[in-house]
Amino acid sequence: MIDEKNMGNDINPHSFPMEIFQQARTPFYYYNMEVLQQTLEEIKRHASGMNCSVHYALKANGNRKITSEIAKHGLGADLVSGREIEAALEAGFPASEMAFSGVGKTDWEIKLGLKKGIGCFNVESVPELEVINQLAGEMGKTAPIAIRVNPDIDAHTHKYITTGTAENKFGIGIEALEPIVCHAIRLPHTHLKGLHFHIGSQITQMPPYVMLCQTINDLQDHYEQLGIRFEMINVGGGLGIDYNDPDAHIIPDFKSYFGIFKQHLNTKPNQLIHFELGRSIVGQCGTLITRVVFVKENRNKKFVIVDAGMTDLIRPALYGAYHKIENLTAQQTGPTEEYDVVGPVCESSDVFAHHCKLPITRRGDIIAIRSTGAYGESMASNYNMRDLPACMFSLTP
């Protein structure tokens, strides 16, 4: 049982059900469903006034309770695999509100999308365009498509999560676009709805989005001159979250984000704008809860070894990503110590944080690794034959 008086100054003891955490087997993801609901309400509030539809990128978190909650709020789904199409249907997203992206869609995945009647295939190459046209023809269907454009805009984010620059594999370069658009319009079994863009992830500065709007405006003007008007423009996702101080910005700045598009994107009459957000929807509602197994000292370095590892949360190991770490059970007001917080996996990269300042930490303490709702559970693995992480929710629906 935990003494609530000893709970941290800046940690709200009521935001985590500590008694339940103490009894529970760790590690697990704890999802605060009120935070998720508030986030979804804010999206609706700030996206209103535009003719738009917001899609949730399931790759950020495919947990069924999370996806069902998001579907209930009326969002569409952005998908990158056949299994994600199935999961989105099970969660209650309407097929007509689904977009399917990815550079390597296989035949069974394309056929599944056609059979279920998904709203749009975001096509990333000419060979893919031909295959979708052929498979749709064989099935007696017309495939709704958008061409993914690589706008060569640097979103100034981590190199592994930048997607819109010329050197990465996504989309079709603007210089090669026109003949492909014209070709797609002529194909018998595709219906070209529009253009798709996505410039990267964890974007915290707005100028790359302004540049994206300008690029889209120029392209639209150009195609208008050719007599081509798109019924839909998909601007992708990528809005970042505050990993350094999650409590200060538990809801991302949707006002600025949607405001940029309202101000800078010149839409055509009746044109629909698609957004596809992942991290900003689910990032802050998730916390990885783990227990200290041992505290070890080696050559003047102190290690806090926890029972979660890179198999539960790979972002620090893979991208050097920062996640705020809190000791939920230690005396918060006393002295602090610098620790490397590490997992049990047999890899040197299994480190959650170097030189992490924590209150004096002991075996059995409960540790929170914050802002892990996006790309946490969804990127978990079984390496070392470890169990996939469990999960717990703040509300029981």
* Interface contacts to ligand LLP, rule CB under 6 A: 57, 60, 78, 101, 161, 163, 198, 201-202, 236-239, 276-280, 315, 375
To ligand LLP, the closest distance from the beta carbon of 394 in angstroms equals: 22
Per-residue 3-state assignment (H helix, E strand, C coil) for the chain? CCCHHHCCCCCCHHHCCHHHHHHCCCCEEEECHHHHHHHHHHHHHHHCCCCEEEEEEHHHCCCHHHHHHHHHCCCEEEECCHHHHHHHHHHCCCHHHEEECCCCCCHHHHHHHHHHCCCEEEECCHHHHHHHHHHHHHCCCCEEEEEEEECCCCCCCCHHHECCCCCCCCCEEHHHHHHHHHHHHHCCCEEEEEEECCCECCECCCHHHHHHHHHHHHHHHHHHHCCCCCCEEECCCCECCCCCCCCCCCCCCHHHHHHHHHHHCCCCCCCEEEEEECHHHHHHHEEEEEEEEEEEEECCEEEEEECCCCCCCCHHHHHCCCCCEEECCCCCCCCEEEEEEECCCCCCCCEEEEEEEEECCCCCCEEEECCCCCCCHHHCCCHHHCCCCEEEECCCC
Least Å from the CB of residue 27 to ligand LLP: 18
- Whole-number minimum distance, CB 280 to ligand LLP, in Å? 6
Q: Is 12 exposed, middle or buried (0-12, 13-18, 19+ CB in 10 A)?
A: exposed
Nearer to ligand LLP, 7 or 118 (CB): 118
* Closer Cβ to ligand LLP, 279 or 386, answer by number: 279
CB-nearest residue to ligand LLP: 278
Residue 33 beta carbon to ligand LLP: minimum distance, rounded to whole angstroms: 19
CB of 250 to ligand LLP, least distance (A): 17
Minimum distance from residue 261 beta carbon to ligand LLP (Å)? 14
Give 78 or 365: the residue with its C-beta nearer to ligand LLP.
78
Could you tell me which of 232, 213, 327 has the C-alpha nearest to residue 273? 232
Rounded to a whole number of angstroms, the minimum distance from the CB of residue 235 to ligand LLP is 10
CA dist., res. 371 & res. 279, Å (int) = 10
Return the CA Rg of the chain.
23
Nearer Cβ to ligand LLP (279/324) = 279
- Which residue number, 26 or 234, has a Cβ lying nearer to ligand LLP? 234
Measured distance CA(294)–CA(98) in Å, rounded: 46
In this complex, which beta carbon is closest to ligand LLP, that of residue 265 or of residue 305? Answer: 265
For residue 31, what are the β-bridge partners? 286, 393
Q: How far apart are CA 189 and CA 198, in angstroms?
A: 25
Is 239 or 265 the residue whose CB approaches ligand LLP more closely?
Answer: 239
- Choose between 177 and 314: whose C-beta lies nearer to ligand LLP: 314
Least Å from the CB of residue 262 to ligand LLP:
18
Pick between residue 195 and residue 328 the one whose CB is nearest to ligand LLP: 195
Q: Which is nearer to ligand LLP, 365 or 377 (CB)?
A: 377
Cβ 78 to ligand LLP, closest distance in Å? 5
CB of 204 to ligand LLP, least distance (A): 11
